[in-house]
Structure 1
């Protein structure tokens, strides 16, 4: 399986061979500020991820643990990278269907006050602290 994707203007393109992990919706302040809402991403193993066009690629170190890749020409938000074995891919940057399923919401303690999460999927404070039901 090969997936492809890129930015709005085509100045950044990539391929993923081998598929993606289940998707998560991140509601942290950083993702919301960068994307304008929450972000939905899935992980690709670093060895399966290839940048095929990089003329517009810029990285921004958004925290002590990670950097975010985006296109400096059109502003498209593309990747999140903490230097580990996988790169998180914003699913909206894919050319076609991803074949993955949204399975959880993370950093819900930081979500915006203007929406409700009501899809019944598991919710976590941070990455892995389950939210206790009210």
Structure 2
């Protein structure tokens, strides 16, 4: 039986809020150049099926920036909080959305998983600890 977790989150100003229940998966830490520019550092993200993400307020406040040929990044139009990464034009990822874990309410019940895109990490930090590390995607 697949273990699930309930999640609830919001942007900094509260204009956007969301919740859902999804299979429990580890949080991935992305070190790619785009994530570092988007968040000024690595991004911790929890990936959920798109149909499990339910907006409770402000869905119309979410603005998307097309950040690559296959993905877009969602943020609050009012406060600018980074909220989502969605590979909406990628065959493998279009049915999933990665939620920026910093937007989730505590306790999340989640655990840290893999580091991805480690070959692109910033030169100002080291990736420490024994979590699995992948040059690209895991």
Q: What SS does the corresponding residue of 1:124 show, helix, strand or coil?
A: coil
2:87 counterpart residue number: 82
Once the two structures are TM-superposed, the CA of residue 56 in structure 1 deviates from its matched residue by 2.3
2:107 counterpart residue number: 97
1:23 counterpart residue number: 27
Q: In 2, distance between residues paired with 1:12 and 1:96?
A: 17
Once the two structures are TM-superposed, the CA of residue 30 in structure 1 deviates from its matched residue by 0.4
1:10 and 2:14 correspond: yes
Once the two structures are TM-superposed, the CA of residue 46 in structure 1 deviates from its matched residue by 1.5
1:41-80 deviation per Cα after TM superposition (whole angstroms, max 9, x unaligned): 0111122111222242101110011100001211100000
Q: TM-score if structure 2 supplies the norm length?
A: 0.87
Q: 2:127 aligns with which of 93, 111, 117?
A: 117
Kindly tell me: are residues 20 and 86 of structure 1, through their superposed partners in 2, closer, same or farther at Cα, counting changes over 3 Å? farther
Contact 1:29 1:110 in 2 (8 A): yes
2:91 counterpart residue number: none
Q: TM-score if structure 1 supplies the norm length?
A: 0.89
Q: In 1, distance between residues paired with 2:29 and 2:37?
A: 14
1:131 counterpart residue number: none
Once the two structures are TM-superposed, the CA of residue 115 in structure 1 deviates from its matched residue by 0.6
Once the two structures are TM-superposed, the CA of residue 103 in structure 1 deviates from its matched residue by 1.3
Once the two structures are TM-superposed, the CA of residue 2 in structure 1 deviates from its matched residue by 2.8
1:32 counterpart residue number: 36
Q: What SS does the corresponding residue of 1:73 show, helix, strand or coil?
A: coil
Q: How many residues align?
A: 128
